[in-house]
Amino acid sequence: MKVNQSYSLLGAIVISGVMGLTPLLASADEVNVYSYRKPKLIDPMFAEFTKQTGIKVNSVFAKKGMIERLQSEGVNSPADLVFTVDIGRLSDIKNAGLTQSISSKRFSNDIPDHYRDPKGHWFGLTTRARIIVASTERVKPGEIMSYEDLADPKWKGRICTRSGKHPYMVALTASMIAHHGEAGAKTWLAGLKNNLARKPQGNDRAQVKAIKEGECDVAVINHYYMAKMLKDPEQVPWAQSVNVIFPNQSGRGTHMNVSGMALTKHAPNKADAIKLMEFLASDQGQKMYVKKNGEYPVKAGIPWNDLQKSWGKFKEDNLSLAVIADNRATAIRMADQVGYNN
Ligand code: FE
């Protein structure tokens, strides 16, 4: 008995060792994806890609710890591609030295310059607008039109936002730094902080709920949460209690962010991974991606969904996300300096 047990233990070790190497050996027909995006969002696109090319896509979903995992796996990492949301997370992965630069005509044709890394380390695939929502009952149309308005003392005690250090708020502050300089952005953020109805808390949807419940009149959220709330019976009344405002339409346009992808530094299946990246930037990939998640396509000419059509066309801020990435550290410090979350 004892001997058998130790044999089977040894067998298990050998098998797991071989399995760990499998992705490196089988480099012909598969791509391995580490994803912060939920499988239901991305799996249908991967399935279509496999159908067309015969290249299998294996995806691992993680809620956090992608950087640590890639770092600890090092050159032996099976990961070819990473999928995530927000310029903050994309640039963190790049800055940790975990990505590699690629150039592809496809990307330069399909993805606008400001939605991809100038050196080709990350690429936006879908965009999200950081919109203002305002109570249909307590805020008149036209009363609030810009991010700058959020700092107007007339809104004192009437605005709700999530944490000033959440990546979505950090990117917005980083864009304000780019447009107004550090001092100007700090004055703005302190003004916004002064207008908060409550200590920053909850996610974007929780701010809309607070408007519905009368706790505040104005909030800042990513646009796709409107679609998500309208699909959830409990949240429909929250969504219906607000008007959607695309800020800064008479000036630079609305602050945008992306979900995106990056090729890992040690990608064992580089050629196939680039094929998958190109598929996702193609008309078909873009159509499938935005249909699933309510975000906007990065590529021009892809049809919008009905809700997006109902809001109409809007002007996007063309500020490069690379500039926003560079201003993030200052933006996080600024949130502390003005005591945003206190
Ligand atoms: Fe989100």
> pLDDT tens digits for 185-230?
999 999 999 999 999 999 999 999 999 999 999 999 999 999 999 9
Burial 258-276 (b: 16+ CB within 10 A, else e): bbbbbbbbbbbbbebbbbb
For 103-200, list the strands marked E by DSSP.
Answer: 123-135, 159-160
Distance 192 CA to ligand 1 centre (A): 21
Spell 86-118 as b/e; 16+ CB within 10 A means b: bbbbbbbbbeeebbbebebebbeebbeebbbbe
pLDDT digits (tens, 9 = 90+) for 271-323: 999 999 999 999 999 999 888 789 999 999 999 999 999 999 999 999 999 99
* Distance (Å) from CA 6 to ligand 1 centroid: 49
pLDDT value, residue 24: 43
Q: Which CATH superfamily is domain 30-127+257-303 in?
A: Periplasmic binding protein-like II (3.40.190.10)
Distance CA 261, CA 267 (A): 13
- Going from the C-alpha of 275 to that of each of 174, 263, 272, 288, the distances in angstroms are 33, 11, 5, 16
254 half-sphere exposure, CB direction, 13 A CA radius:
22
Residue 260 CA to ligand 1 center (angstroms) comes to 13
In the chain, pLDDT over 70 holds for what percent of residues? 92
Say how many CA atoms lie within 13 Å of 137 toward its Cβ. Answer: 11
The tens digit of pLDDT for each residue in 5-34 reads 333 333 333 333 333 334 444 446 999 999
Residue 30: φ, ψ to 5°: -150, 160
Give tens-digit pLDDT for 138-164: 999 999 999 999 999 999 999 999 999
Confidence of residue 39 (pLDDT cuts 50, 70, 90): confident
- Residue 251 φ then ψ, to 5°: -130, -120
- Burial class of residue 183 (count of CB atoms within 10 Å of its CB; 0-12, 13-18, 19+): exposed
Residues 142/143/148/153 CA torsion (nearest 10 deg): 170
Average pLDDT over the chain reads: 91
| CATH topology agreement for domains 30-127+257-303 and 128-255+315-337 | yes
Residue 6: per-residue pLDDT: 34
Alpha-carbon distances of 65 from 71, 98, 199, rounded to whole Å: 10, 13, 28
Indicate the CATH number for domain 128-255+315-337.
3.40.190.10
- Looking at residue 293, its pLDDT comes to 81
Domain assignments of the chain as residue spans, ordered by start: 30-127+257-303, 128-255+315-337
pLDDT tier for residue 107 given thresholds of 50, 70 and 90: confident
Q: How many angstroms separate the alpha carbon of residue 158 from the centre of ligand 1?
A: 23
Q: Which two tokens stand for residue 207?
A: 């701010």
Q: Cβ neighbours of residue 327 under 8 Å, at least 6 residues apart?
A: 173, 174, 175, 177, 178
Measured in Å, residue 168 CA sits from the centre of ligand 1 at: 8
Which tokens in the block code for residue 246?
């695309």
222 CA to centre of ligand 1 in angstroms: 7
Question: What distance in angstroms lies between residue 194's CA and the mean position of ligand 1's atoms?
Answer: 25
Q: What is the mean pLDDT of residues 62-75?
A: 93
Q: 254 C-alpha vs ligand 1 centroid, how far in Å?
A: 17
pLDDT score of 268: 96
Most trustworthy range by pLDDT among 38-47, 104-113, 239-248: 239-248
> 175 Cβ partners below 8 Å, 6+ apart?
255, 317, 319, 324, 327
Please compute the mean of the pLDDT values over residues 44-52 and round it to a whole number: 95
pLDDT of residue 28: 66
